[in-house]
Amino acid sequence: MSVQSVLEPLDTVRAELEELYRDLHAHPELSHEEHRTAGLVAQRLRADGFEVHEGVGGTGVVGVLAHGEGPVVLLRADMDALPVREATGLDYASTATSADGEPVMHACGHDVHVTALLGAAHLLAEGSQHWSGTLVALFQPGEEHGDGAKRMVDDGLADLIPSPDVALGQHVLVAPAGHVGTRSGPVLSAADSLRVTIHGRGAHGSMPHVAVDPVVVAATAVVALQQVVSRSVAPTETAVLTVGSIRAGTTANVIPDTAELLINIRTFDDDTRQVVLDGVDRVVQGICAAAGTPHPADVERYQSYPLTDNDEGTTQRVHEAFAAVFGDAVVELPLQSASEDFSDVPTALGVPYTYWGVGGTDPEVYRRAQEEGRLGELPVNHSPAFAPVVQPTLDTGVSTLVTAAMAWLAKGEPPAV
């Protein structure tokens, strides 16, 4: 089997990939500051014979490896870390800080993604006699800001690479390491972050009758906003609305002029998305009007992630390829309320895509937690204690990318769907 032929040398590079992973984990970089990571990526791609484009969208890297006639397959990994202080206790834990002194940690597993794609790129380059076509390895910055994919597209990505037939991506998740999850249709939610500024009229804390208190207005809005999902969204649809921050004032005896709410919305359908966005505006402006604020509230959408909506035919093809390699370890990926900007690339390029999950939790730890009803206590992505077990997570991450790519590139395979 051509897939197994490409994967066979994994044993010889496993130790090197594990060392690379630990190095990346110990040296995380925030969004759009991934200079060291990008340099390592470019160096390794060139060593494997890729044509390399650096600085795409800021710190993005794209490698192109052409090997005869055939489909063009794009594989993607994100590179950025988070402003989180690591609490894993690992001997390769990050002690890095940003230029502003913030702690930095690979708390979302992007170090796994980079290592897996570099490993897959190496194996596919070494095993090129088993496939025909073109491999595009895309390493994206700024996923945590939700703008890295768009920056690469806006920086002329389409002119740097041959037009792909398919785009493929993955994410390490809290699930038994060695397991792989696929899902057709919506798989990751769309996300919108809103900044709501409520304008009041400040005064001395002893004279509330001459003020329009934005703190009270904001507090009323926080409670009322909880009704947007429960009373505006159909019970058969899914949506999440979270007020994650409320800020106002500087001292106890001063009523401030303004108050600010930061709101996050997650939806799986464009119509539901608009219902919730409209509901936020309606509720906030109505409460402001009732309170007599001097101006309507400012409602700014400052960050958005697209819906990740896996193409059915592409997903089925990848699922069947995974089943042939991983057997019963392939499961249906549950609907995820997390968000990604991966789909901005294939959407802009006009190609089908699928995005799957790989487990990163020690299987025995996961099993015990499941038996004891403690799955909710396992450290999740973005937690200071999030630490994917090195193996079999890396082997699986490399193997899934190779297997999915070979579903199109393997000699004798049918044309891309």
Share of the chain above pLDDT 70, in %: 98
Structure confidence by residue, pLDDT tens digits, 154-213: 999 999 999 999 999 999 999 999 999 999 999 999 999 999 999 999 999 999 999 999
Q: Which segments are annotated as binding site for Mn(2+)?
A: 108, 110, 144, 171, 382
pLDDT of residue 416: 45
Rounded to the nearest integer, the mean pLDDT of the chain is 97
pLDDT at residue 312 tops 90: yes
CA atoms within a 13 Å half-sphere pointing along the CA-CB vector of 338: 17
**What pTM was computed for the model?**
0.94
Structure confidence by residue, pLDDT tens digits, 318-374: 999 999 999 999 999 999 999 999 999 999 999 999 999 999 999 999 999 999 999
pLDDT at residue 413 tops 90: no
Structure confidence by residue, pLDDT tens digits, 234-283: 999 999 999 999 999 999 999 999 999 999 999 999 999 999 999 999 99
pLDDT at residue 417 tops 50: no
CA atoms within a 13 Å half-sphere pointing along the CA-CB vector of 238: 14
pLDDT at residue 414 tops 70: no
* Domains of the chain by start residue, with CATH: 2-186+307-409 (3.40.630.10), 190-305 (3.30.70.360)
pLDDT at residue 145 tops 50: yes
Q: Which segments are annotated as binding site?
A: 108, 110, 144, 171, 382
Structure confidence by residue, pLDDT tens digits, 220-246: 999 999 999 999 999 999 999 999 999
Closest CA to 164 of 137, 183, 129: 137
pLDDT of residue 411: 79
DSSP per position, 299-353: EEEEEEE--EEE-HHHHHHHHHHHHHHHGGGEEEPPPB----STTHHHHHHT--E
Query: In the predicted model, what is the mean pLDDT of residues 35-54?
Result: 98
